[in-house]
Structure 1
Amino acid sequence: MCGICGVVGTRPAAPVIFEALRRLEYRGYDSAGIATLVDGQIERRRAAGKLDNLERVLEAAPLAGTTGIGHTRWATHGVPNETNAHPHSAGQVTIVHNGIIENFEALRAELEAKGRVFLSDTDTETVAHLLDQYVSDGLPPREAAFATLRRLEGAYAIAMIFADHDDMLIGARHGAPLAVGFGDGEMFLGSDSLALAPLARRIAYLEDGDWCVLTRAGAQFYDERGEAVERPIQQVALIAGQVGKDGYRHYMEKELHEHPVAIGQTLQRMIDPATRRVVLPELPFDPESLPRVSITACGSAFFAGFVGRYWLEALARLPVDIDVASEMRYRNPPLTPGGVGLLISQSGETADTLGTLRSLRAAGQHIMSVLNVEHSTMGRESDVVLGMVAGPEISVASTKAFTAQLTVLAALSVAFARARGLIDAAGEQALVASLLDVPSRATEVFAQGDAIRAMAAIVAEARDVLYLGRGICYPIAQEGALKLKEITYIHAEAYAAGEMKHGPISLIDRSVPIVAICPSTILFDKTVSNLQEARARGGRILAFTDAIGAERLRGIAEVIVVMPDVDPFVAPILYAIPVQVLAYEVALLKGTDVDQPRNLAKSVTVE
């Protein structure tokens, strides 16, 4: 949450920072701002709302200067307005900040007692005043920054500039990500590599507790004790063109159409085409003797993990626990020695998932992560990284990353089943063949656009929607309900279909559409029985099924989307696509902001 960019260079800083903020806007769009050094003094431009508002401010009052910082905000402390927008200034310093300073109230009271006057409601302004207090007391910027950081409690990524120090930019991280980009006679700070990729091909990542001093000549890194350290510099392959809309109306629409590519590229990484076997990285444990797997994630990644639980239990006969990360990290569950913590995250920076990773490691678990950003904090702290190849995902609502996560988990389940002697070479090849069939079948889903839009017309008129699935399709129903809530603001809930008669059936009337995920191969007869119970009470049934299922559901379902025939093993990957497309089509009818839904941000780096 919140996007940070900073530059110390030779060209005008404000345009460079603004374009980087464009690439970071998925992290927050409550307000935005830029500050630069102009003739030794700091000037700011800020605006509430999205970056378009800041752009108009900059057009009316441009910013000069070659050193500066910028920020796009997801509000934590203080309402989203210009006063609370970053950057925040105090005396001779200006900062931007991502995260939450947990002891800001005590620090603010201390500073107010010294006569400091606060203008905003943010915790960030407290950091600016504390930093300026040390500068006013005579400390040079480097020492003042270190003294300030030692007083802060909580999670943060911070960038700082100082009046009369044009060739200096200081960054720090504790819990929230921050990267350093190396240019030609210029240096950059950014919340992630996506912001920096068009600016620098070489990037170093700050470790937790690190801080850095950037000048045009390079970077000096320090650890939390203030001791100079070295951090590895990595080449970045990402190019700016990968993050455009390519003619689509929204990033989400583009990313929906990239499902087949994301699935296919991920399979290419995990499967040997010659032997049709799953290839895993070197493991620090033996799958054959593995006692238990503990899966944890947040949001859509949690539902991917839920599907993974079904696969690992059914194929590899592994005991599996699964929890949302925000609960697992505080639940203190008993863990089996020698077990594996399996964590799933698109960004690899999700605060709750990262916190759970550390608690699992402290409990003696091996750490395996499924990530789209392999050099993220989670990637660096994992024993094994299973990298999906989804490419940049800009829309806040996860789409192609979800099916890529499912693809990794399916392949992992096959590999574990083979390693544990539960399938032979022929069985592995058959399952791999079904996985390799998914990309082409995924392209066929988009031919059902008319039927999905017919569904969307019904759903768009509803205040409440129920999603139903059974077995391994239940988590896909949960994913569908989440997507609808996220981008249309329609209340939706998902249930295991057999649970309807245990309470939720009382909600059903003619105004409540019921979206069913029901391929004919997965507990179909039982699902049909549940749908008939709902229809008898006035429910409007909207079904995703295959050709055989469609014949059975005629006369029960009002709208049917006929899906391609696939092996039931891979059905969850395929059926995830149309439930996401349905949410997108409903959002178009509702006129909501598809890519940047209210109150949400892409990478949740605060608790």
Structure 2
Amino acid sequence: MCGIVGYIGTKEKRNFLINGLKELEYRGYDSAGIAVLKEGEITAFKATGKLSNLSHKVEHFSSSGFGVGIGHTRWATHGKPTEANAHPHWGQYSYIIHNGIIENYKEIKDELLKDGVKFLSQTDTEVAVHLFEKNVKEVGDCFKAFEKTIASLQGAYAILLITKKEPDVIFFAKNAVPLLLGTNAEGEVYFSSSDAPLVGLVNEVVYLEDGEYGWAKDKEITLLKEFKSQHLDFKTLTHDKISAQKDGFRYFMEKEIYEQSLVVAETLMGRIKDNSVVLDELSHLDLSSIDAIKICACGTSYHAALSASYMFERLAKIRCNVEIASEFRYKEPLLDPKTLFIVISQSGETADTLEALKMAKQSGMSTLAICNVDNSSIVRTADMTILTRAGIEKGVASTKAFATQVVTLWLLSLFVGEAKGTIEESILQREIAALLHIPLVLKVNESVHEKIRRLSKRYLHGHGFFFIGRDLFYPLALEGALKLKEISYLHAEGYPAGEMKHGPIALADSELFTIALMPKNLLYDKMKSNVEELGARDSTLLIISPEPFELADDFIKTTPQTHMMSEFFEMMIITQLLALEISIRLGNDVDMPRNLAKSVTVE
């Protein structure tokens, strides 16, 4: 998730912009930049890589005295992580920073190209600054031009824009991407993507709502929505930086569960165009020579890999084998150069996965990393990388990393099927439509969360949990059990529902809790029979399904969906919240569970 900061005032702007961006590093980025408008002139700096590279560039730059400044950390979506694609982007006399995606940027760009506009980047963001300047020329007023520009944009965005024609103003707009503004007794105005950069600098903030836009200048803020003036609803800002980073949530894990809608939208950005999957990262991959896929991973990433194996075979019609990296390393595996070798890791430093990757490279296989951390060891070693764009995940028990991994692998399965001609066009379009719907599915339903919180008090004892599912929901059952084990320290197992009668059903009694994943769009009747077998043996049943189940001791109703992956992600959230609430009731440290590390860099 990109980060935004902005400032209007007399203090040294460089310091706030750089320090504010540092507070947003946890969101993840691959380039950064700032622009300062002072005394009618704009000075801008951009750099790829870590913020230290940008800090070095600006260390001798001074910007004290009244002025305005904007800063941005970018995670590449449209265009590679280069200085040209880094923000801010400029027109003839204006600079802009933007988080999100402008869905109709291609149409806008085509019109601007006809007008002779020259583009310097591959980004969607740059069209907005050129469109603003075109509107200024047409309407002769910057405020009306900005309003007209925002009305033309479709998609998700948080925007800050500065222009020489209004040198004491920052224009802002927000839709489906976080943006807030703050003020203090000195009359300064600050902008940010989250609370953390503003702690200690402002007393109160306004959390902008979708569709709101406006302009701020010295001691004056105008807020509008749909051309109508809006009330500025200021709220007191916390003075605890860690609490500010949690955005009001009790734990980072809880915050990260709620962030999944936003980060999956980031994962998809720029990767679906013209009803097709576009993965620029794989431009040099020759799929004609690939006849199978092997995936290696550990822990949560292994569960994402298992989920992918169903999608590769079902959608792309290509053989897919999944192995636990720590086992793969020592089994003397047979490695075929015609097999694409994929590794998955949140951190990019997982020792067993890295060693498996090295083995594959030595055998001459094409290698691909699915990873969340750019420039990590696994990313540097693999031939190709697709970044999941989940942002930094502080909770040790992975949540949003898993969601973005599964979405990335789903995209990849469609890309492979399309490239090899093994997926029907109607199925491809159905899957793309389903993919684009997932960010909406991932919005947490507050009433469902409250029901889970209340239910959790019943699940603090017993001799264990069985999470059961079939097909794609078997890896989800494994992941649900892992989440509960990691943070509650209760014994839990994920199991294929059809296998229960082959031994584990011997454990069934009233103190065995069965968490049954029962999607309507996939093997519902088969699951129903499996659950009835457990109910007949007095297992306590918690059913997660859109369909009421008469034997259920507890029931969490999901939303009726038309695609099994929508059900997958809705049930994923429910299992994550269940683990969270049980752990909280047990008094455990949710973010830092005992014996575990976020990045497993040893065998």
8 Å CA contact 1:544, 1:563 repeated in 2: no
- Report the counterpart of residue 310 of structure 1 in structure 2: 310
- Report the counterpart of residue 534 of structure 2 in structure 1: 534
Structure 1 residue 523: Cα displacement:
1.1
- Report the counterpart of residue 574 of structure 2 in structure 1: 578
- Report the counterpart of residue 248 of structure 1 in structure 2: 249
Structure 1 residue 419: Cα displacement:
1.7
**Counterparts in 2 of 1:188-203, with a 5 A limit?**
none
8 Å CA contact 2:521, 2:562 repeated in 1: no
8 Å CA contact 2:522, 2:564 repeated in 1: yes
Where 1:543 maps in the other structure, the secondary structure is: strand
- Report the counterpart of residue 266 of structure 1 in structure 2: 267
Q: Distance in 1 between matches of 2:488 and 2:579?
A: 7
8 Å CA contact 2:441, 2:566 repeated in 1: no
**Counterparts in 2 of 1:89-100, with a 5 A limit?**
none
- Percent of pairs identical after alignment? 37
Q: Distance in 2 between matches of 1:452 and 1:277?
A: 36
Runs of 4+ aligned structure 1 residues displaced above 4 Å come to 179-187, 238-243
Where 1:342 maps in the other structure, the secondary structure is: strand
Cα RMSD of the aligned pairs, angstroms, is 3.3
Task: Give the partner amino acid of 1:572.
Answer: F
Q: Distance in 2 between matches of 1:528 and 1:404?
A: 30
Task: Give the partner amino acid of 2:378.
Answer: M
**Counterparts in 2 of 1:321-470, with a 5 A limit?**
321-470=321-470
8 Å CA contact 1:441, 1:564 repeated in 2: no
8 Å CA contact 1:284, 1:366 repeated in 2: no
Where 2:391 maps in the other structure, the secondary structure is: coil
Q: Deviations for 1:201-237, whole angstroms, at most 9, x for unmatched residues?
A: 99xxxxxxxxxxxxxxxxxxxxxxxxxxxxxxxxxxx
Change (3 A) 1:314 1:458: same
8 Å CA contact 1:451, 1:561 repeated in 2: no
Structure 1 residue 451: Cα displacement:
3.0
Q: Deviations for 1:68-107, whole angstroms, at most 9, x for unmatched residues?
A: xxxxxxxxxxxxxxxxxxxxxxxxxxxxxxxxxxxxxxxx
Change (3 A) 1:355 1:558: same
Q: Distance in 2 between matches of 1:348 and 1:400?
A: 15
Q: Distance in 1 between matches of 2:408 and 2:516?
A: 25
Q: Distance in 2 between matches of 1:356 and 1:382?
A: 11
Where 1:493 maps in the other structure, the secondary structure is: strand
Q: Distance in 1 between matches of 2:326 and 2:440?
A: 36
8 Å CA contact 1:297, 1:324 repeated in 2: yes
Q: Distance in 2 between matches of 1:306 and 1:516?
A: 19
Structure 1 residue 351: Cα displacement:
0.9
Where 2:318 maps in the other structure, the secondary structure is: coil
Counterpart among 571, 592, 596 of residue 600 in structure 1 = 596
Q: Distance in 1 between matches of 2:487 and 2:346?
A: 19
Where 1:281 maps in the other structure, the secondary structure is: helix
Where 2:307 maps in the other structure, the secondary structure is: helix
Q: Distance in 1 between matches of 2:329 and 2:271?
A: 30
Structure 1 residue 570: Cα displacement:
4.3
Change (3 A) 1:454 1:543: farther
**Counterparts in 2 of 1:40-59, with a 5 A limit?**
none
Q: Distance in 2 between matches of 1:266 and 1:421?
A: 24
Change (3 A) 1:513 1:292: same
Gaps of 5+ in 2: 1-21, 27-49, 60-72, 75-192, 198-240
Task: Give the partner amino acid of 1:579.
Answer: T
Q: Which stretch shifts more, 325-334 or 419-428?
A: 419-428
Q: Distance in 1 between matches of 2:275 and 2:499?
A: 43
Q: Distance in 2 between matches of 1:445 and 1:317?
A: 35
Counterpart among 582, 587, 595 of residue 583 in structure 2 = 587
Where 2:367 maps in the other structure, the secondary structure is: strand
Where 1:555 maps in the other structure, the secondary structure is: coil
8 Å CA contact 1:326, 1:353 repeated in 2: yes
Where 1:516 maps in the other structure, the secondary structure is: strand
Structure 1 residue 268: Cα displacement:
1.1
Change (3 A) 1:444 1:362: same
Change (3 A) 1:422 1:593: same
Q: Distance in 2 between matches of 1:495 and 1:504?
A: 9
Change (3 A) 1:535 1:286: same
1:523 aligns with 2:523: yes
Where 2:358 maps in the other structure, the secondary structure is: helix
Task: Give the partner amino acid of 1:559.
Answer: F
8 Å CA contact 2:329, 2:355 repeated in 1: yes
TM-score of the superposition, structure 2-length normalised? 0.60
Change (3 A) 1:269 1:331: farther
Change (3 A) 1:371 1:502: same
- Report the counterpart of residue 550 of structure 2 in structure 1: 554
Q: Distance in 2 between matches of 1:283 and 1:565?
A: 34
Where 2:348 maps in the other structure, the secondary structure is: coil
Structure 1 residue 453: Cα displacement:
2.5
Q: Number of residues paired by the alignment?
A: 388
Q: Distance in 2 between matches of 1:258 and 1:604?
A: 24
Structure 1 residue 564: Cα displacement:
4.5
Instruction: Flag the structure with more relative contact order, 1 or 2, with Cα contacts below 8 A and sequence separation at least 6.
Output: 1
Where 1:468 maps in the other structure, the secondary structure is: strand
Change (3 A) 1:507 1:560: same
Q: Distance in 1 between matches of 2:395 and 2:261?
A: 17
8 Å CA contact 2:316, 2:413 repeated in 1: yes
Q: Deviations for 1:389-428, whole angstroms, at most 9, x for unmatched residues?
A: 1111001000111100000001111111112222244432
Structure 1 residue 577: Cα displacement:
1.5
Where 2:337 maps in the other structure, the secondary structure is: coil
Structure 1 residue 520: Cα displacement:
1.2
Q: Distance in 2 between matches of 1:590 and 1:543?
A: 22
- Report the counterpart of residue 287 of structure 1 in structure 2: 287
Q: Which stretch shifts more, 578-587 or 427-436?
A: 427-436
Q: Deviations for 1:221-266, whole angstroms, at most 9, x for unmatched residues?
A: xxxxxxxxxxxxxxxxx99759811121110111010010111110
8 Å CA contact 1:474, 1:495 repeated in 2: yes
8 Å CA contact 1:517, 1:544 repeated in 2: yes
Q: Distance in 1 between matches of 2:264 and 2:466?
A: 28
